């Protein structure tokens, strides 16, 4: 790092990463991060595909770097990058230690933006049950809408993450909420043949004959994919075999 002592601009912008601090944070070079910060690097500078240094470090799970950035005043709710903010990025990757650090620093658990809508949705869609538990414990809105799947319950159900589904249901997730390409969560789980999830949803009062979406209803979704066990469960719960 002799270049720093020869007058290099520590906050120069440009290149793939946007700035030096972001580059070092992303690649977990904690000694370099410390030197850059000591030389006056702007901890909240925006640039590159990752938006800012905190986002970059959080997305990779670099806990030590995250702590250094936070200690230097990094904005825990700064917006930027594909996942919108640091909490969202860490949640989507299942970095539970980093998620805990960000929440303890006041990260907005219900911030909306990005491809998944919010942190709870992001964690649920990837089956990160420990992160989901932390977010719910900090007051994440279990029925918040957004993203491709509509909400966290639908995302977890379509992917078959039964443990996450159970946690969301226990926190009051609306089992009949509408939205997304499958319209409802039962149709999403039925189309993928996730029989354990289907059973949980039905036990929570999912409407077995709800209409709409890509397949029309859950029975058609399961039948079209040959999921015989799911079809049997739906019929046992009164699915209309002649529904159009």
Q: What is the pLDDT of residues 78-118, one digit of tens each?
A: 987 776 899 999 999 999 999 999 999 999 999 987 676 79
pLDDT confidence of residue 235:
98
User: Which regions of the chain does DSSP assign to beta strands (E)?
Assistant: none
Q: Which of 69, 112, 65, 61 is nearest to 89 (CA)?
A: 61
pLDDT confidence of residue 30:
96
Tell me the average pLDDT across 213-230: 93
Domains of the chain: 16-108 (1.25.40.20), 110-174 (1.25.40.20), 178-243 (1.25.40.20)
In the DSSP assignment, the letter for residue 146 is -
CA angle, 185 as apex, 181 and 186 as ends, to 5°?
Answer: 115
The answer, yes or no, to whether residue 4 has pLDDT greater than 70, is: no
Residue 14's DSSP bridge partners are 18
The answer, yes or no, to whether residue 1 has pLDDT greater than 60, is: no
pLDDT confidence of residue 240:
94
At residue 18, φ and ψ (nearest 5 deg) are: 95, -50
- The CA-based diameter of the chain, rounded to the nearest angstrom, is 79
Q: Where are the alpha helices (DSSP H) in 74-184?
A: 86-93, 96-104, 119-125, 129-137, 152-159, 162-170
Most confidently modeled of 71-85, 88-102, 137-151, 202-216?
Answer: 88-102
Rounded CA separation 31/65 (Å): 9
Tell me the average pLDDT across 16-21: 88
Contact 150, 174 (CB under 8 A): no
Count of alpha carbons within 13 angstroms of residue 163, beta-carbon side: 9
pLDDT confidence of residue 23:
94
Buried b or exposed e, range 13-31, using 16+ CB within 10 angstroms: eeeebbbbbbbbbbebebe
Written as six digits, the tokens of 158 are: 């379509």
pLDDT confidence of residue 48:
80
- Give 5's pLDDT tier (boundaries 50, 70, 90): low
Average pLDDT of the chain? 92
pLDDT confidence of residue 29:
98
Tell me the average pLDDT across 201-216: 92
Using alpha carbons, list the distances in angstroms from residue 212 to 95, 137, 165, 180, 215: 36, 33, 22, 10, 7
Place of tokens 């709409």: 212
Handedness of CA 78, 80, 84, 90 (dihedral sign): negative
Contact 64, 43 (CB under 8 A): no
Percent of the chain with pLDDT over 90: 76
DSSP 172-200: T--TT---STTSSHHHHHHHHT-HHHHHH
| pTM to 2 decimal places | 0.90
The answer, yes or no, to whether residue 6 has pLDDT greater than 60, is: no
pLDDT confidence of residue 180:
66
Contact 13, 47 (CB under 8 A): yes
The answer, yes or no, to whether residue 162 has pLDDT greater than 80, is: yes
Tell me the per-residue pLDDT of 23-62, one tens digit each, with 9 for 90 and over.
999 999 999 999 999 999 999 999 888 889 999 999 999 9
20: CB partners within 8 A, 6+ apart: 10, 12, 32, 36, 41
The answer, yes or no, to whether residue 205 has pLDDT greater than 80, is: yes
pLDDT confidence of residue 213:
82
pLDDT confidence of residue 241:
94
């Amino acid at each position: 790092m002799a270049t720093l002592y020869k007058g290099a601009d520590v906050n120069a912008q440009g290149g793939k990463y946007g700035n030096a601090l972001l580059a070092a944070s992303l690649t977990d070079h904690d000694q370099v991060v410390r030197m850059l910060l000591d030389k006056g690097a702007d901890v909240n500078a925006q640039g590159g595909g990752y938006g800012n240094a905190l986002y970059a470090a959080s997305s990779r799970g670099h806990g030590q770097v995250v702590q250094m950035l936070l200690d230097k005043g990094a904005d825990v709710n700064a917006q930027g990058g594909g996942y919108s903010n640091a909490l969202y990025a860490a949640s989507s990757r299942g970095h539970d230690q980093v998620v805990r650090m960000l929440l303890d620093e006041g990260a907005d658990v219900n911030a909306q933006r990005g491809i998944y809508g919010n942190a709870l949705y992001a964690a649920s869609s990837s089956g990160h049950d420990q992160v989901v538990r932390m977010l719910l414990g900090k007051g994440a809105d279990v029925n918040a809408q957004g993203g491709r799947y509509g909400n966290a319950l639908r995302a977890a159900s379509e992917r078959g993450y039964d443990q996450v589904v159970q946690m969301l249901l226990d926190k009051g997730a609306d089992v009949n909420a509408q939205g997304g390409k499958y319209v409802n969560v039962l149709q999403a789980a039925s189309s993928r043949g996730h029989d354990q999830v289907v059973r949980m949803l039905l036990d929570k009062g999912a409407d077995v004959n709800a209409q709409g979406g890509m397949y029309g209803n859950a029975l058609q979704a399961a039948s079209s994919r040959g999921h015989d066990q799911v079809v049997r469960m739906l019929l046992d719960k009164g699915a209309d075999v002649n529904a159009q």
